[in-house]
């Protein structure tokens, strides 16, 4: 049986039934706005200290830390691309952010993972394009690696984002 890929509206920092959440981080991994700031705030100062020792993260790559005060075990930090019109490698970088996050989870035996909508906030990636890449990448990874995940959940922060992901998932 393959992974259950699902969407919910909510706050990713409050998800209690996954082993890891994915942080849409910036290259420094030292906190920022949006999901990144919320995750750092909820996890507490220990997360910032651990992230400082990782020496940043390149766009499209992913790194694992503990979750500290969050209700899961791990945070997988990935850096999505800043939207510059789509001709500067943004689609490939976004695919890599999802793929590499799943690979890090798989490498660490994580079977239940939650993603935000990477790059669609302050990085201005067009929502519908990002949702297509996210869902396609997750489906392809799960098909190529059967049995690796029980649940891959997109935890989305508003109705518009939820609808964009649900439309792609049901297509």
Q: Which CATH number belongs to the domain containing residue 77 in this structure? A: 3.40.220.10
- Tally of structural domains, the chain: 1
Looking at the predicted structure, is the pLDDT value of residue 95 above 80? yes
Looking at the predicted structure, is the pLDDT value of residue 131 above 70? yes
Full residue range of the structural domain in which residue 50 is found: 4-170
DSSP 8-state assignment for residue 148: S
Burial of 144 (0-12, 13-18, 19+ CB in 10 A): exposed
Residues annotated as catalytic (active site), given as ranges: 36
CA distances from 118 to 1, 73, 147 (A): 27, 20, 24
Looking at the predicted structure, is the pLDDT value of residue 170 above 70? yes
pLDDT band at 100 (very low <50, low <70, confident <90, very high): very high
In the chain, the percentage of residues whose pLDDT exceeds 90 is: 96
Looking at the predicted structure, is the pLDDT value of residue 108 above 70? yes
Looking at the predicted structure, is the pLDDT value of residue 2 above 90? no
């Amino acid at each position: 049986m393959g992974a259950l890929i699902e969407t919910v509206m909510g706050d990713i920092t409050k998800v209690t039934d996954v082993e890891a959440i994915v942080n849409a981080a910036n290259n420094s991994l030292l906190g920022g706005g949006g999901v990144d700031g919320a995750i750092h705030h909820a996890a507490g100062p220990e997360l910032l200290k651990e992230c400082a020792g990782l020496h940043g993260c390149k766009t499209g790559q992913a790194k694992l830390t503990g979750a500290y005060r969050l209700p899961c075990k791990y945070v997988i930090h990935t850096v999505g691309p800043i939207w510059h019109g789509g001709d500067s490698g943004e689609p490939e970088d976004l695919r890599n952010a999802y793929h590499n996050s799943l690979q890090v989870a798989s490498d660490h035996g994580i079977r239940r993972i939650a993603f935000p909508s990477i790059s669609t906030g302050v990085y201005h990636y067009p929502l519908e394009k990002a949702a297509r890449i996210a869902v396609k990448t997750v489906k392809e990874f799960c098909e190529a690696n059967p049995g690796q995940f029980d649940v891959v959940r997109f935890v989305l922060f508003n109705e518009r984002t939820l609808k964009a992901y649900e439309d792609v998932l049901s297509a």
